[in-house]
Amino acid sequence: MNATSIGLFPHVEGRLDLDLDTLRPGLVVAGVIPNPPRTQLIRDAEARDCIVLDGLGMLVSQGAISIRHWTGIEPELQVMRKKLEHIFRRLAHYRRAGSIVQRNEFRLCRRRLRLI
């Protein structure tokens, strides 16, 4: 379980100090980082046939529980996940961008994310 900020956007290449030989097939590896969902740890674990749970799935599940609790509506998890993936891709694009217009769009996108 990675419950640290290592690998969190924008430092997506961060690595845990972990002996990769300890990642055995069938081992459950979980990360709480939602952005990016495929952290280096998750990618390493997948490459070694581990069972992985990414942070975006956890975020979507937490949101679904809240929506269900407060509204009684059963949300569509795949729709929620795809929307967040889209938002995180846009954030990454705008983060890399250098123009003033793109930086303003990045700020707007961040504000929208807070409203979700």
Residue 75 scores a pLDDT above 90: yes
- Higher pLDDT among residues 96 and 11, named by residue: 11
pLDDT of residue 82: 93
Query: Cα–Cα–Cα angle for 110, 113, 116, nearest 5°?
Result: 160
Where do the structural domains in the chain lie, given as residue ranges?
Answer: 20-115
- Higher pLDDT among residues 10 and 53, named by residue: 53
- Say if CB 16 and CB 6 are below 8 A apart: yes
Which residue, 102, 101, 80, is CA-closest to 93?
A: 102
Average pLDDT value over all residues in the chain? 85
What tens digit of pLDDT does each residue of 12-60 get? Answer: 888 889 999 999 999 999 998 988 888 999 999 999 999 999 999 999 9
pLDDT of residue 113: 65
Which residue, 83, 79, 87, is CA-closest to 105?
A: 87
